[in-house]
């Protein structure tokens, strides 16, 4: 039926029910196609866990704590966060904690269940229920699985998206002498079993609606799915409170062509063997910020190195090194630390971005203590400034 948009191509290649890359692969870790920060070092997940505890304390320690992770991978990050919750009894004992995982891949949800509960969980028999799987963590916390964010119950929630937005389908656009044209994917007439990029001959609806008049770049990638998702998160946080933490590689509206594939830990041509490689594009944080439409306060993007150092990664590394006398474990800890923080590895390639309710950063009259003329200054946001231990 003619050329596909890059977004259609990505959606088919990654999430097609039968052939989609994410649907039946365990693509993470050394045996997979790429490695993520939680798989590199336990310290990463522990510091993320501390960030959520810090925010929970800053908003007055509410009695319920709903952690929602989008695209949880193998469940490693949630597992590390749950270990922190368990070790910090103040949260675990005084609060009703629940975990809500948004995952479309049957293969990955199966692995997540094994990681977090230690057992294989059978899917729910009720097809009408938004929850397609449920279980209990090794520390007794209920876990629920959903296919979309809108299925997750409303309420004061803390959201997490680590390397999630980069896999959402993008549209690509090129500036030409005739104006903006969408980049499409078509069959190469010279080689029938090969694909190629082509420019749309006329303005597509996507080019009409997604390109800003003042756009300075000549090549632009736009992810409408990310915009819709950010709007949903912003609306939820504005209405119910909580916070969202997004960690991904990206830029602040400066990059152009970032669409690429990964297979066996190497760059892979995006047009070759669709469905067998991970397809990804850098997240445009300036687009995410604009799509909140002022409903929430945004912080970042801040480089991973700076965020982790603000969260106390150096102190945590020293504690773990002092506890361990195994040379192999110590070397692994140091290697993981370097990979996470080295600017040439992940330190300045990955960024953190947060959504918070406006009142989180403002002093409130309701907070005024008797006998004090001024409202107390709100607690600083951990990671985006140095974490203060009290």
- Tell me the pLDDT band of 38, cut-offs 50, 70 and 90: low
Name every residue whose Cβ is closer than 8 Å to that of residue 108 and which is 6 or more positions away in sequence: 22, 26, 72, 73, 74
Contact between 363 and 374 under an 8 Å Cβ cutoff? The reply is yes
Radius of gyration of the chain (CA): 22
pTM: 0.91
Nearest partner of 162 among 44, 320, 4, judged by Cα? 44
- Structure confidence at residue 380 as a pLDDT band (50, 70, 90): confident
Per-residue model confidence as pLDDT tens digits over 4-16: 999 999 999 998 8
Cα 78–chain centre separation: 12
Per cent of the chain over pLDDT 70 is 91
Q: Where are the domains of the chain?
A: 4-170+223-360, 173-210
pLDDT at 272 over 80: yes
Which tens digits make up the pLDDT trace of 95-127? 899 999 999 988 899 999 999 999 999 888 888
Nearest to 237 by CA among 134, 152, 146: 152
Does the domain at 4-170+223-360 match CATH 3.40.50.12710? Answer given as: yes
What's the confidence (pLDDT) of residue 128? 86
Predicted pLDDT of residue 366: 40
Spatial contact of 159 and 244, defined as CB atoms under 8 Å apart:
yes
Q: What's the whole-number mean pLDDT along residues 76-101?
A: 88
Question: What pLDDT is attached to residue 372?
Answer: 43
- Is the predicted pLDDT of residue 27 greater than 70, yes or no? no
Give the containing element (helix H, strand E) for 40.
Answer: helix 37-40
Whole-number Å distance between alpha carbons of 24 and 117: 21
């Amino acid at each position: 039926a003619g050329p596909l948009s890059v977004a259609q191509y990505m959606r088919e290649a990654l999430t097609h029910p039968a052939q989609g890359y994410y649907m039946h692969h365990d693509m993470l870790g050394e045996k997979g196609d790429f490695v993520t920060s939680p798989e590199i070092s336990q310290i990463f997940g522990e510091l993320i866990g501390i960030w959520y505890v810090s925010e929970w304390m800053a908003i007055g320690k509410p009695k319920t704590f709903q952690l929602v992770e989008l695209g949880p991978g193998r469940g490693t990050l949630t597992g590390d966060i749950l270990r922190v919750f368990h070790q910090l009894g103040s949260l675990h004992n005084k609060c009703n904690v629940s975990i809500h995982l948004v995952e479309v891949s049957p293969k990955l949800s199966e692995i997540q269940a094994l990681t977090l509960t230690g057992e294989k969980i059978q899917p729910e028999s009720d097809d009408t229920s938004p929850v397609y799987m449920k279980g209990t963590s090794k520390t007794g916390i209920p876990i629920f699985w959903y296919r979309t964010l809108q299925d997750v119950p409303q309420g004061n929630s803390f959201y997490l998206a680590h390397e999630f937005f980069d896999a959402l389908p993008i549209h690509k656009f090129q500036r030409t002498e005739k104006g903006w044209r969408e980049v499409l994917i078509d069959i190469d007439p010279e080689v029938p079993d090969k694909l190629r990029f082509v420019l749309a001959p006329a303005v597509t609806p996507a080019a009409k609606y997604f390109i800003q008049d003042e756009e300075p770049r000549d090549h632009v990638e736009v992810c409408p799915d990310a915009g819709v998702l950010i709007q949903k998160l912003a609306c939820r946080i504005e209405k119910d409170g909580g916070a969202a933490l997004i960690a991904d590689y990206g830029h602040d509206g400066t990059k152009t062509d970032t669409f690429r594939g990964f297979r066996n830990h190497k760059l892979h041509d995006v047009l070759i063997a669709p469905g067998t490689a991970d397809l990804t594009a850098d997240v445009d944080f300036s687009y995410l910020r604009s799509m909140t439409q002022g409903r929430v306060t945004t912080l970042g993007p801040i480089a991973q190195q700076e965020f982790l150092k603000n969260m106390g990664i150096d102190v945590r590394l020293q504690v773990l090194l002092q506890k361990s006398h195994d040379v192999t474990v110590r070397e692994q800890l140091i290697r993981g630390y370097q990979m996470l923080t080295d600017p040439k590895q992940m330190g300045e390639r990955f960024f953190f971005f947060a959504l918070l309710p406006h009142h989180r950063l403002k002093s409130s009259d309701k907070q005024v203590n008797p006998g004090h003329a001024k409202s107390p200054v709100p607690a600083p946001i951990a990671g985006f400034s140095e974490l203060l231990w009290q």
